[in-house]
Amino acid sequence: MSEPRPDRHDEPDPDETFEGIVDEATQRDPDLAVIEAGSRTLRAHSGQPQGEAVPARPADPETDKALRAVEQELAGRWGETKLEPSVTRIAALVDVLGEPQRAYPSIHITGTNGKTSTARMIEALLNAFELRTGRYTSPHVQSITERISLDGAPIAPERFIETYEDVKPYVEMVDAQQPYRLSFFEVLTGMAYAAFADAPVDVAVVEVGMGGTWDATNVIDSTVAVITPISLDHTDRLGTTPAEIAGEKAGVIKEGATVILAQQPVDAAQVMLKKAVEVDATVAREGMEFGVTSREIAVGGQLIGLRGLGGEYEEIFLPLYGAHQAHNAAVALAAVEAFFGIGAEQARSLDIDAIRKAFASVLSPGRLEVVRSSPTVVLDAAHNPAGAKAAAEGVSEAFSFSRLIGVVGTSADKDVRGLLEAFEPIFAEIVVTQNSTPRAMDADELAAIAVEVFGDERVQVEPRLDDALEAAITLAEEEDEYAGAGVLVTGSVITVGEARLLLGRG
Interval 295-325: pLDDT, tens: 999 989 999 999 999 999 999 999 999 999 9
pLDDT of 237:
57
Nearest-10 crossing angle of helices 242-249, 266-278: 30
Q: What are phi and psi of 15, to 5 degrees?
A: -85, -15
pLDDT of 242:
81
Write down the mean pLDDT value for the chain. 86
Whether residue 377 has pLDDT greater than 50: yes
pLDDT of 506:
57
Residue 96 zone, left/alpha/beta (φ > 0; ψ -120 to 50; rest): alpha
Comparing C-alpha atoms, which of 421, 392, 330, 435 is closest to residue 117?
A: 330
pLDDT of 238:
57
Residue 302 near residue 326 (C-beta atoms within 8 A): yes
Residue 255 near residue 262 (C-beta atoms within 8 A): no
The reported pTM is: 0.84
Interval 411-421: pLDDT, tens: 988 889 999 99
Q: What is the mean predicted confidence (pLDDT) over 159-175?
A: 97
Interval 29-61: pLDDT, tens: 333 332 222 222 222 233 334 445 677 788 899
Q: What are phi and psi of 437, to 5 degrees?
A: -90, 155
Q: In what order do the strands lie in the sheet with 369-372?
A: 369-372, 376-379, 485-490, 403-408, 429-432, 459-461
Burial of 355 (0-12, 13-18, 19+ CB in 10 A): buried
Interval 28-37: pLDDT, tens: 333 333 222 2
Q: How many CB atoms lie within 10 A of CB 483?
A: 14
Residue 427 near residue 457 (C-beta atoms within 8 A): no
Work out the angle at residue 121's Cα, subtended by the Cα atoms of residues 115 and 126, and round it to the nearest 5 degrees.
125
Identify whether 14 is preceded by a cis peptide bond (ω within 30 of 0).
Answer: no
Q: What is the H or E stretch that residue 150 is in?
A: strand 148-150
pLDDT of 400:
87
Q: Are strands 203-207 and 376-379 parallel, antiparallel or unpaired?
A: unpaired
Q: What is the mean predicted confidence (pLDDT) over 286-292?
A: 95
The span from the CA of 159 to the CA of 162, in Å, is 5
Under DSSP, the state recorded for 290 is B
pLDDT of 301:
94
Distance of CA 74 to the CA centre of its chain: 23
Instruction: Tell me the CB-side half-sphere exposure of residue 395, using CA atoms within 13 A.
Output: 34
Give the pLDDT band of residue 482 (cuts 50, 70, 90).
Answer: low
Residue 286 near residue 326 (C-beta atoms within 8 A): no
Residue 431 near residue 465 (C-beta atoms within 8 A): no
Work out the angle at residue 264's Cα, subtended by the Cα atoms of residues 81 and 253, and round it to the nearest 5 degrees.
65
Biggest alpha carbon–alpha carbon distance for the chain: 67
CA-only gyration radius of the chain, Å:
22
Q: What is the mean predicted confidence (pLDDT) over 237-251?
A: 79
Q: What are phi and psi of 374, to 5 degrees?
A: 55, 70
Q: What is the H or E stretch that residue 237 is in?
A: helix 235-238
Q: What is the mean predicted confidence (pLDDT) over 340-362?
A: 89
Q: Are strands 133-136 and 148-150 parallel, antiparallel or unpaired?
A: antiparallel
Q: How many CB atoms lie within 10 A of CB 60?
A: 12
